[in-house]
Amino acid sequence: MAIGKASNFVINDDLFDTIFIEQINQNVNAFNAASANSIRFVTQMLEGDYAKTRFFDRLTGGVARRDTTSVSAATDTALTQDEVISVKCSRGFGPYAQTLDAFEKAQISSEQMTSNLAIMFADEFLKDALNTGLTAGVAALGQSTGSQDLLYDYSGTGDLSHAALIAGRAKMGDAFGRIKAWVMHSKAYHDLVAAQVSVASGNVADFAIYEGNAGTLGLPVVVTDSASLVLDATTDNYYTLGLTENAIVVQESENRRMVSDLITGLDNLVMRVQGEHAYNVEVKGFKWDTTNGGVNPTSGTIGTATNWDSVVADDKDKGGVVIQTT
């Protein structure tokens, strides 16, 4: 049996980056399109622990009757500003370790190993980023503080239904058309399917016809069993999000770093791989509370509603609605 040299088993950085980027781009483009850009993955290098975007507050009541017979002084109205703040989440991949002997016996080349790691890293990156983004979205949009009223609690009535979708969407008032997609747990989705097939869509020769698909008010649906959509598995409560365009934005904000090394001094040579990266999470209409939430938050901190402060007065300008069901 040929003995593999240490130099045969190293991570090819260029190959890793190429495959990783291809995998990310394919999945991101498909996901952004499927969610109607309600959840967006983008790449933008950002320094520091937060990214801040300032904007002018919406003018309200700015147009009024003008008295053509008056020469009195007019009263000035000040223009005010606020800012949306996204928070950076630092992440690590590995370390993973394996003996070179195991790769050699399986006849796995360094190119194959690099390709497999790049694909797995890309998939895990997107899964973690989606979970974090949804956790932030539920926390921010689902809070009932001040004048915000974007949570529709249907859990006392039952499972997700068309009535619940309609009532939840109605939280946006006459801006309900801004909701571009639903994000729901598979349990909620199948509850919706069950509700749909329980109603016959037609009758042919005394046979009832069932369409068998989930009626979603003409909107695309992202189905994910993300833990962020489970309020309490014990009590069987779930969240469904109705999101507007750019409701949740995840920005890959630091360059990825992947390092491999060989560990000697053991009975067998061991290869170890470790990587790190970072991304920012932003929720439309909110800023991360830098005092209460702090830097590099945990999932629990991201999911704490009071760490997301509203920066717009009108609920219609926010990222969407949250529906709670069993």
Distance CA 222, CA 182 (A): 6
Please identify which residue in the block is written with the tokens 């997301």: 308
What confidence tens digit (pLDDT) does each residue in 110-158 have? 788 788 888 888 888 889 999 999 999 999 999 987 789 999 999 999 9
- In the chain, which ranges are E strands? 39-43, 50-56, 81-99, 151-153, 179-184, 202-204, 207-209, 221-223, 230-232, 237-244, 248-263, 270-283, 286-288, 308-310, 320-325
Please give the model's pTM, rounded to 2 decimal places: 0.86
- pLDDT value of position 206: 54
Nearest to 42 by CA among 264, 189, 252, 197: 252
List the single range of 133-137, 168-172, 206-210, 249-253 with lowest mean pLDDT. 206-210
Coil, helix or strand for 89? strand
Measured from the Cβ of residue 167, the count of other Cβ atoms closer than 10 Å reads: 15
- pLDDT value of position 11: 67
pLDDT above 90 coverage of the chain, percent: 56
With a CB cutoff of 8 Å and minimum separation 6, the contacts of 323 are 151, 152, 154, 160, 164, 165, 167, 168, 239, 240, 241, 242
What confidence tens digit (pLDDT) does each residue in 235-292 have? 789 999 999 999 999 999 999 888 888 899 999 999 888 889 999 999 999 999 999 9
Domain ranges of the chain: 6-56+82-325
**Which parts of 85-185 fold into alpha helices (H)?**
100-105, 110-141, 162-169
Beta bridge pairs of residue 40: 249
The answer to whether 150 and 182 have CB atoms below 8 angstroms apart is: no
Torsion angle, alpha carbons of 41, 285, 181, 139, to 10: 90
The answer to whether 244 and 38 have CB atoms below 8 angstroms apart is: yes
Written as six digits, the tokens of 315 are 């609920």
Nearest to 213 by CA among 232, 233, 195, 236: 195
Written as six digits, the tokens of 183 are 């994000």
pLDDT at 40 over 90: yes
- pLDDT value of position 258: 82
What confidence tens digit (pLDDT) does each residue in 64-110 have? 888 899 999 988 888 888 999 999 999 998 898 888 888 888 888 77
